[in-house]
Amino acid sequence: MKKLLRTLLLALCGTASFVSAEACTNFIVTRGASTDGSVMVSYAADSHWLYGALYHTPAGRHRAGAELPVYDWDSGRFLRNIPQAAETFNTIGNMNEHSLIIAETTYGGRPELADTTGGIDYGSLIYITLQRARTAREAIRTIVELADTYGYASGGESFSIADRDEAWIMELIGKGFADDGRGGNARRGIVWVARRIPDGYVSGHANQARIATFPLDDPENCLYAPDVVSFAREMGYYEGPDAEFSFCDAYAPLEFGAMRGCEARVWSFFRTVADGMERYEDYALGRSAADRLPLWVKPRTKVSPKSVFDAMRDHYEGTPLDMTADIGAGGHGCPYRWRPMTFEVDGTEYTNERATATQQTGFWFVAQARPWVEPDMGILWFGVDDAATSCLTPIYCSATEVPECFREGNGSMLEYSPTSAFWLFNRVTNFAYMRYD
């Protein structure tokens, strides 16, 4: 129902205005950087049309020849059928029964690399992979196999992929379309790179590709497509030596909006947990890309789950971007700005900030993979609507039922339900915005 309603909204309001508003945020904490030794991944699924619900797929065993229909996660459009796996795992939200966690943010990247013939989108990659993989490394292999086999139907994506032992950032993008003479795509598949975050460090991404140069001979800590550099050369994106190749510079060139609207969210998280982040203030403000924000940082002290919860509720408080302190906050210090983010006065264009906490969140979570308990005892701390004004409910990753208040079909963006957590928080939050202080 959610997907059908979103299709209706797109038809009523126009695709371009909706797509430009979509954005998400991920923060990642490795075992050695957390207070309790867990691996943590946070995610805010931010979209004006997304209804906050908790997705669940039960474990199963499937007969030979069974097929799985693939629907685009954003639009609900049918893409294709693919062979079903013989065994699939129980999933709850973005976590499975083995404590595998996968989250994402969209960076888009070069528009000419979109493949309109692709058979699997970024959302389906997440949820199908959660049904088929046990570990982060298995998940990376599964994502690559699915995208290369069936064609990739979305734009550039950054994935957070974590299990009980390690956490990775994987960035990928399609290769565009080239007719193979038989109506198919000769460039089917993706170029990609994945880096393991060193234990004891934290990382994050927020709608901008972040993997720059990477080691070419360290498979324990870095994996990549064999043509990731050569394809960039073929397309005219890069001319230098392999060792100096930067994935993000080739496939998602940096500009003001990427720094101010995207990288600034990662910077704000880093500055709350690590020292020395003031040196990157000009970068976060979009003034200079000379001193790029690092892919990961070492926190000053161990990071607790509560610290990650709070980081997801951030509006740049205490920084030059503080959304409670500028003229747009009005008389009640409201840290929210309605869309579009840019506006023009007397021929000069201005921008509002895009903080981690935002009014258009559908659902959000902080997932904990805990190595000291059984794999099916990981915790998904799950919430709906604006992260700054909603609470989190702890749910075991082995859960086989969804509480009524989070159930898909209990209300929608166009149908109020008094037993829906999304509608409850949304209703209270909208009153809070009017008297925020």
pLDDT at 300: 98
Structure token digits, residue 272:
């709350």
47 vs 20: CA distance, rounded Å: 10
199 vs 48: CA distance, rounded Å: 35
DSSP code of residue 16:
H
Q: Which residues of the chain have pLDDT under 50?
A: 1-21
Q: How many helices (H) and strands (E) does the chain have?
A: 11, 21
pLDDT at 372: 98
pLDDT at 22: 57
Nearby residues of 359 by Cβ (< 8 Å), 6 or more positions away: 336, 338, 386, 429, 433
Q: Kindly give the pairing relationship between strand 348-351 and strand 342-345.
A: antiparallel
| pTM exceeds cut of 0.85 | yes
pLDDT 10s digits, 80-124:
999 999 999 999 999 999 999 999 999 999 999 999 999 999 999
My answer on whether omega of the bond before 226 falls inside 30° of 0, hence cis, is no
Contact between residue 312 and residue 27 where contact means Cβ atoms under 8 Å apart: yes
Structure token digits, residue 154:
């979305």
Structure token digits, residue 96:
């499975």
* Domain coverage including residue 81: 2-434
pLDDT at 97: 98
Measured in degrees and rounded to the nearest 5, phi and psi for residue 5 equal: -65, -40
Give the count of domains, the chain.
1
pLDDT at 183: 84
Distances (CA, A) of 105 to 69, 92, 266, 321: 24, 19, 12, 22
Q: What is the DSSP string of 288-313?
A: --SSPPPSEE--SSPBPHHHHHHHTT
Nearby residues of 29 by Cβ (< 8 Å), 6 or more positions away: 38, 39, 40, 41, 167, 202, 303, 308
